[in-house]
Structures are given as C-alpha cells and as structure tokens.
Amino acid sequence: MPIYEYECTKCSDNFEITQKITDKPLKKCSKCGGKLQKIISNTSFVLKGTGWYKTDYAAKPKEGSKKEEKSSEAQKKPSEKISETAAK
C-alpha cells in the first residue's frame, strides 16, 4: 500500500499514513481539526541490483541470420520444396 504525506494548513502538523489507492484522502487534522493538504514528496522507491539497465543484459543474437534463412526458403520454387521433403 502507498504511503501518503499530509500537512495541516492550520497547525502545520506533518505526518505520513498508509492508505489504499481507492481510499478517500483525509480532510481533517486529528490534532486541531484544521484542513489537511496532501503533499507530493520524493519517493523512496529505488531500483537496486542488476538487470535494470540495458548494459546489464547479455547481447542477443542478431535476428538477421534467421530472417535470411526464412527469405531463402520463401524464394525456393514449390517443386524444390516438395523434392526436399520427399528426400527426408
């Protein structure tokens, strides 16, 4: 569940609370009854470890060699394809 930060406009009390995304925002300060304002703050979400950057992955084999095989197969005449399957 996300953590939301609120600040009271009356007493300047600042606090964090864990709420569901579907929960309605808080409106009244529990200390003075003043109006609460939701604060947008920096996230504490950090990506650590390997695999988060392009350089962390092994190079994939080039697709060109597979495409060449497919295109050469498509260029063969139907009679050549039949003779190859019959030979097998």
Question: Residues 35-68: pLDDT tens digits?
Answer: 999 998 777 777 777 777 777 666 666 666 555 5
Does the predicted model carry a pTM greater than 0.85?
no
Q: Give mean pLDDT, residues 75-82.
A: 58
More confident residue, 16 or 70: 16
Looking at residue 10, its pLDDT comes to: 93
Query: Virtual CA dihedral for 20, 26, 31, 33, nearest 10 degrees?
Result: -160
Q: In the chain, pLDDT over 90 holds for what percent of residues?
A: 38
What are the tens digits of pLDDT across the range 10-26?
999 999 999 998 999 99
Phi, psi angles (nearest 5°) of residue 66: -70, -40
**Radius of gyration from C-alpha coordinates of the chain:** 31
Which helix (H) or strand (E) segment holds residue 82: the answer is helix 78-87
Q: Is the pLDDT of residue 72 over 90?
A: no
User: Of 81, 54, 17, whose CA–CA distance to 25 is shortest?
Assistant: 17
What type of residue sits at position 16?
E
Looking at residue 15, its pLDDT comes to: 92
Please state whether 61 falls in left (phi above 0), alpha (psi between -120 and 50) or beta: beta
For residue 71 the two structure tokens come to: 């295109």
